[in-house]
Amino acid sequence: MSEPSVHLHIDGVAVEVPAGASVAAAIATSSEVAPRFRRSRSGQPRAPLCGMGVCFECRVTIDGAAHQRACLTVAREGMQVRCDD
Amino acid sequence: MAAFDLIVIGAGIVGTACAELAVREGLRVAVVESGAVGGGATAAAMGHLVAMDDDPAELALSRYSLGLWERFASLPEAEFSRCGTLWVAREASEFAGVPAKIARLAAAGVVARRIDADELYRLEPALVAGLCGGMLVADEAVVYPPRVALHLLGLARAGGASCVLGRRAVALSADGVRLDDGSTLIGPVLVATGCAVPELLPQLPMRSRKGHLVITERYPGRVHHQLLELGYADSAHGDADSSVAFNVQPRPTGQILIGSSREFGVDDRDVSPAMLRRMLERAFAFLPMLRELQALRVWTGFRPTSFDGRPYIGAVADRAHTWVAAGHEGLGVTTALGTAQLLIDQVLGRAPAIDPMPFLPSRALQ
């Protein structure tokens, strides 16, 4: 009996994570290298610092809605996540 | 005991523009600022460079100043963005007034074009359905005012101006100004302190007109022009205790700046939830998609408003060697450079390029 999982797409790549995982965790597990969540105004990569919704560094576009905090969003089946905006 | 040709009190956009020009004209200049450079009305402003056509004198000053702003069109610090101004008509009566508005602007040398409904939605697809059309002033731009003030002060300083920062001018004296540390600067004084003008010049009436602004996260491509409702001037120049008008600006970063509100008789800096709601509801009525965006910050500011809505620019007739440049209300950024030219021309005894009469402070001293 395996634990239930959800499937989502991160920048077009299919990712499978345990049910209940955050989008931030899904992004982190989807990347071989240091994951990129967003970019600063000057183009520098940004990634979660606090993991609890305060730092706003993990914002990504989820199902077309920009600036969603990945650390506070539970991954759902079929989500389309876009990073690096 | 230092002596100068001109002591500028206030380092907002108006004071710094005057100081920079005075230095370029070869005057020995001092600048006194008690707070942050460009930290008052200048920092709270939207930075929209716009010609308003409801008062011929104000239009002449705006047009003159808009030409001078071209000097900073490629200055990185200015964050100059030529997004154009798109005035939108919700009522047929507003749209019917567009040709007259275009004619008034054209007479002053500002090029504007009537936009029908189809073109309006091509230009700004996010606008609410059912608008009549509008008017486009394609050459107008937005800037980031506090950085321009800092840049102007830097130019003045590089040209030899003395900057007295962190010191407050407490009183004008017969031959200059006294500062809060007891020191004195000697020379003609230019008061450019906006809302604070009555502290030094109680004979000049000045009211503070509070405004709210909201800035969103970055949403590039949602809005392309500075958008205003054609009814904006009714809010801006009416005398109601409080009013709101649709006024939305795309920042070069992709952020969206949302205004505008006006309130007389409120002197606390706090954000008023009721006023903020009114302002945002007005904006949502024109741009429904704003509801889904995330706001990043809300702030308030105070517009220095003279007794008749025109700035005081010129000599303070009842005092020797005293000048004023203040009271620009919502057009201080637009008209700062023209104001400096108008004021310094008078200081040097030259004929200004535009008629200085409508702005002379003596009209308030009757």
Model confidence over A39-68: pLDDT tens digits?
Answer: 998 889 999 999 999 999 999 999 999 999
| Residue of chain A whose Cα is closest to the Cα of B292 | A65
Residue A65 C-alpha, separation from nearest chain B C-alpha, in angstroms: 9
Cβ-contact A59, A40 below 8 angstroms: no
Comparing alpha-carbon positions, the chain B residue that sits nearest to A61 is B219
Residues on chain B touching A67 (C-beta within 8 angstroms)? 217-218, 294
By the 10 Å C-beta count (0-12 exposed, 13-18 middle, 19+ buried), B283 is classed as: buried
Per-residue CA distances from B274 to B65, B280, B282 (Å): 35, 10, 13
Mean pLDDT of B10-15: 98
Contacts of B292 in chain A (CB under 8 A): 65
Q: Span B53-78, mean pLDDT?
A: 96
Q: What is the pLDDT of residues B279-300, one digit of tens each?
A: 999 999 999 999 999 999 999 9
Q: What is the pTM of this model?
A: 0.92
Contacting A with CB below 8 Å, chain B residues are 217-219, 253, 292, 294
Spell out which residues of chain A touch residue B218, defining contact as CB-CB under 8 Å: 41, 66-67
Distance between A3 CA and the closest CA of chain B, angstroms: 35
Tens digit of pLDDT for each residue in A5-49?
999 999 999 999 999 999 999 999 887 767 789 999 888 999 999
Per the rule left: phi > 0, alpha: psi between -120 and 50, beta: everything else, B129 is beta
Residues of B in contact with A65 (CB under 8 A): 292
What's residue B2's pLDDT? 80
Nearest CB neighbour to A41, from listed B253, B292, B294: B253
- Which residue is closest to B253 within chain A, CA to CA? A41
List phi, psi (to 5°) of B277. -60, -45
The answer to whether residues B11 and B37 touch, using CB atoms and an 8 Å cutoff, is yes
Which DSSP letter does residue B328 get? B
Shortest CA gap A25–chain B (Å): 23
Gap from A66 CA to chain B (nearest CA, Å): 8
Label residue B125 exposed, middle or buried (CB < 10 Å: 0-12, 13-18, 19+): exposed
pLDDT in tens, B175-224: 999 999 999 999 999 999 999 999 999 999 999 999 999 999 999 999 99
Structure tokens given for B7 = 């002591």
Structural contact between residues B226 and B210, judged by C-beta atoms closer than 8 angstroms:
no
What local confidence, expressed as pLDDT, does residue B237 receive? Answer: 66
3-state DSSP assignment of residue B334 = helix
**β partners of residue B321:** none
Residue B4 has pLDDT above 70, yes or no: yes
* Confidence at B1, pLDDT banded by 50, 70, 90: low
Contact A41 B294 (CB under 8 A): no
Helix and strand element counts for chain B (H, E): 11, 20
- Per-residue model confidence (pLDDT) at position B35: 97
Kindly list the residues from chain A whose CB atom is less than 8 angstroms away from the CB atom of residue B253: 41
Per-residue pLDDT, B234 = 73
Interface test with A, best of B294, B296, B297 (most A CBs within 10 A): B294
Identify the closest residue of chain B to A42 by CA–CA distance. B253
Within 39-78 of A, beta carbons closer than 8 Å to B belong to 41, 59, 65-67
User: CA-CA distance, B274 to B271, in Å (whole number)?
Assistant: 9
Q: How many Cβ atoms from other residues are within 10 Å of residue B121's Cβ?
A: 15
Cα–Cα distance for residue pair B98/A68, rounded to 1 Å:
41
Express as a percent the part of chain A with pLDDT over 70: 95
Q: What is the dihedral of CA A66, B90, B135, B55, to 10 degrees?
A: -110
Contacts of B290 in chain A (CB under 8 A): none
Q: Which residues pair with B185 in a beta bridge?
A: B2, B177
Q: Whole-angstrom Cα distance, residue A82 to residue A76?
A: 14
For the segment B303-308, the average pLDDT, to the nearest whole number, is 97
Specify which residues B226 forms β-bridges with. B85
Cβ contact A66–B253 (<8 Å): no
Given a contact cutoff of 8 angstroms between Cβ atoms, the answer to whether B234 and B276 are in contact is no
Q: Judge contact between B233 and B52, C-beta under 8 A.
A: yes
Contacts of B217 in chain A (CB under 8 A): 59, 66-67
Does B347 have pLDDT greater than 60? yes
Partners of residue A66 in chain B, C-beta under 8 Å: 217-219
Extract the tokens encoding B119.
Answer: 């073109």
pLDDT (mean) for B154-182:
97
Amino acid at B343: L
CA dihedral B126, B129, B130, B131 (to 10 degrees): 0
Q: How far apart are CA B339 and CA B72, in angstroms?
A: 16
Q: How close, in Å, is residue B307 to chain A by CA atoms?
A: 42
Q: Grade residue B276 by pLDDT with cuts at 50, 70 and 90.
A: very high
Opening angle at CA B45, ends B83 and B310, nearest 5: 100
The reported pLDDT for the residue numbered B366 is 67
Does the structure show a pLDDT above 90 at B239?
no
Residues 6+ apart with CB under 8 A from B14: B192, B194, B325, B326, B328, B332, B336, B339, B340
Under an 8 A CB cutoff, do B294 and A67 touch? Answer: yes
Tens digits of per-residue pLDDT, B78-116?
999 999 999 999 999 999 999 999 999 999 999 999 999
